[in-house]
């Protein structure tokens, strides 16, 4: 029988250690491989832990101190050794704090294929642990990973909200905990509502670190293709859940976005205490899939390639808290779309006009 391999992601080193401890307390035949990247030294710290304590704790030099190198150069060989050892029935890979799980699981999915280095294992569950008391500020605040001291590399400019939202959107299982543990307060309930809006529609949520068990992790098999779809902005959809505090809003249209009006109003859509993602199209780049990804006061706008014969669409999904924002967002969204008159003249109106979005979308010739 293949050994179940699960992946744990967090944005909090204390929460990561607490989750590992909670898992190992009642799972004597589970082993955890924990990684931390030290970019300034070009090293990776590898720690192997089971219920008896720390079995291995070494610093490993990497060609490049990055997550992809860590997986390729150390995680896969180390996991293969653990699978061959025979002492454990379950293995957990605890990612460096703030690391996104999508790229890691993509590599692990290939490595667990028949004849691959980890063919003794199967990819079971991608799990992320979240502190519900701080989730609202973590997801919607403006702190960067560097300001929190949890950036993966010296040039990691992501916000805390970007990192946590990416973990939530990809996970099969989300575990929430509260600093008050036994008596979750209002902050905890509000944070859990926000987590429910951002986690994948087909994911599960459990409350309390005590609920993390080897059985809860091994009971599923991670679908790498489904995981990629969860994170694909083309498939972004508003949450189906209805809550008192948090909300999601999906704004969609077949019309393209007016590039100049978008640039004028972009802060009204991309800034503030919002998580937003999706795709849009513009009339002067008819075949380009334009990518929108906002969190923690930061906004990324770029291109994802060509529509490849699919019907272009504009769809942006926003998540936030409190009242009043949804009406404002709807109004701004409608105002940046092309009008009927602009649509009628769309093919000619942009000839000879400067492409104001080129600094973000790149040279149109690159799409060809």
| Pair 69, 207 in one domain | yes
Range of the domain at 314: 246-367
Task: Report whether pLDDT(45) > 50.
Answer: yes
3-state secondary structure of 342: helix
Region 271-296: mean pLDDT is 94
Distance CA 74, CA 70 (A): 5
pLDDT of residue 347: 63
Distance CA 305, CA 3 (A): 38
Query: Exposure of 353 by Cβ count < 10 A (0-12 exposed, 13-18 middle, 19+ buried)?
Result: exposed
Residues 39-70 as b/e (b if ≥16 CB within 10 A, e otherwise) read beeebbebbbbbbeeeeeeeeeebeebbbebb
Confidence of residue 240 (pLDDT cuts 50, 70, 90): confident
Residue in 165, 105, 171 with CA at minimum distance from that of residue 293: 165
Distance CA 167, CA 81 (A): 27
| Pair 144, 190 in one domain | yes
pLDDT of residue 182: 41
Distance CA 275, CA 169 (A): 11
Distance CA 69, CA 91 (A): 20
Distance CA 322, CA 320 (A): 7
| Pair 222, 321 in one domain | no
| Pair 361, 274 in one domain | yes
Distance CA 145, CA 366 (A): 32
Confidence of residue 95 (pLDDT cuts 50, 70, 90): very high
| Pair 205, 116 in one domain | yes
In this predicted model, what pLDDT tens digit does every residue of 143-160 receive, in sequence order? 999 999 999 988 899 999
* CATH number of the domain to which 351 belongs: 3.30.1220.10
What's the number of domains the chain is made of?
Answer: 2
Q: Is residue 352 part of a domain?
A: yes
| Pair 224, 277 in one domain | no
The residue that leads in pLDDT, 349 or 98, is: 98
pLDDT of residue 226: 94
Confidence of residue 331 (pLDDT cuts 50, 70, 90): very high
Backbone angles phi, psi at 12, to 5 degrees: -135, 115
pLDDT of residue 241: 76
* CATH number of the domain to which 61 belongs: 3.40.50.300
| Pair 331, 255 in one domain | yes
| Pair 191, 325 in one domain | no
Residue in 174, 150, 160, 181 with CA at minimum distance from that of residue 8: 174
Helix, strand, coil % in the chain, rounded to nearest 5? 35, 30, 35
Task: Report whether pLDDT(242) > 80.
Answer: no
pLDDT of residue 104: 95
The residue that leads in pLDDT, 363 or 294, is: 294
Distance CA 307, CA 299 (A): 22
Strand 30-38 to 3-9 pairing: unpaired
Q: Is residue 239 part of a domain?
A: no
Distance CA 5, CA 91 (A): 5
- Least confident span in 81-90, 307-316, 358-367: 358-367
3-state secondary structure of 257: strand
| Pair 193, 256 in one domain | no
Q: Is residue 171 part of a domain?
A: yes
Q: Report percent pLDDT > 90 for the chain.
A: 77
Task: Report whether pLDDT(233) > 60.
Answer: yes
Domain-ending residue, one of 184, 204, 231 = 231
Distance CA 298, CA 160 (A): 10
Domain-ending residue, one of 231, 262, 280 = 231
- Alpha helices, H only, 200-319: 214-218, 224-231, 259-270
| Pair 219, 266 in one domain | no
| Pair 315, 263 in one domain | yes
Q: Is residue 140 part of a domain?
A: yes
Cα→Cα distances 119→17, 116, 199, 228, Å: 28, 5, 29, 21
What average pLDDT does the chain have?
92
Region 324-348: mean pLDDT is 89
Q: Is residue 237 part of a domain?
A: no
pTM of the full structure: 0.93
Token pair belonging to 368: 């060809």
| Pair 174, 263 in one domain | no
Domain-ending residue, one of 170, 204, 231 = 231
pLDDT of residue 181: 44
In this predicted model, what pLDDT tens digit does every residue of 168-226 receive, in sequence order? 999 999 999 986 544 455 678 889 999 999 999 999 999 999 999 999 999 999 999 99
Residues 316-343 as b/e (b if ≥16 CB within 10 A, e otherwise) read bbbbbbeeebeeebeebbeebbbeeeee
Confidence of residue 40 (pLDDT cuts 50, 70, 90): confident
- Least confident span in 55-64, 111-120, 286-295: 55-64
């Amino acid at each position: 029988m293949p050994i179940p391999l699960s992946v744990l992601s967090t944005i909090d080193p204390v929460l990561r250690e607490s989750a590992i401890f909670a898992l190992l307390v009642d799972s004597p035949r589970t082993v955890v491989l924990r990684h931390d990247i030290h970019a300034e030294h070009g090293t990776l710290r590898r720690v192997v832990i089971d219920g008896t304590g720390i079995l291995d704790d070494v610093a490993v030099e990497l060609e490049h101190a990055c997550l992809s190198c860590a997986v390729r150069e150390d995680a896969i060989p180390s996991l293969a050794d653990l699978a061959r050892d025979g002492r454990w029935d379950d293995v957990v890979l605890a990612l460096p704090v703030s690391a996104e799980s999508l790229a890691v699981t993509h590599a692990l999915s290939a490595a667990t294929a028949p004849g691959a280095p980890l063919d003794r294992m199967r990819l079971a569950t991608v799990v992320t642990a979240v502190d519900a008391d701080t989730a609202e500020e973590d997801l919607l605040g403006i702190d960067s990973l560097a300001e929190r001291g949890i950036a993966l590399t010296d040039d990691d400019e992501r916000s805390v909200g970007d990192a946590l939202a990416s973990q939530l959107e990809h996970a099969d299982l989300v575990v929430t905990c509260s600093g008050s543990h036994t008596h979750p307060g209002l902050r905890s309930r509000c944070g859990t509502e926000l987590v429910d809006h951002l986690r994948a529609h087909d994911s599960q949520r459990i409350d309390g670190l005590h609920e993390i068990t080897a059985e809860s992790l091994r009971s599923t098999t991670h679908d790498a293709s489904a995981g990629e779809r969860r994170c694909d902005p083309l498939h972004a959809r508003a949450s189906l859940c209805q809550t008192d505090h948090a909300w999601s809003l999906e704004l969609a249209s077949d019309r393209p976005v007016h590039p100049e009006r978008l640039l004028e109003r972009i802060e009204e859509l991309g800034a503030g205490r919002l998580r937003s993602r999706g795709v849009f199209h513009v009339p002067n780049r008819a075949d380009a899939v334009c990518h929108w990804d906002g969190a923690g006061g930061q906004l990324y706008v770029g291109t994802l390639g060509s529509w490849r014969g699919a019907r272009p669409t504009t769809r942006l999904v926003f998540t936030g808290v409190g009242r009043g924002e949804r009406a404002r967002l709807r109004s701004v969204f409608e105002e940046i779309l092309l009008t009927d008159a602009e649509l009628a003249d769309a093919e000619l109106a942009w000839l000879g006009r400067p492409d104001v979005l080129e600094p973000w979308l790149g040279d149109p010739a690159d799409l060809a």
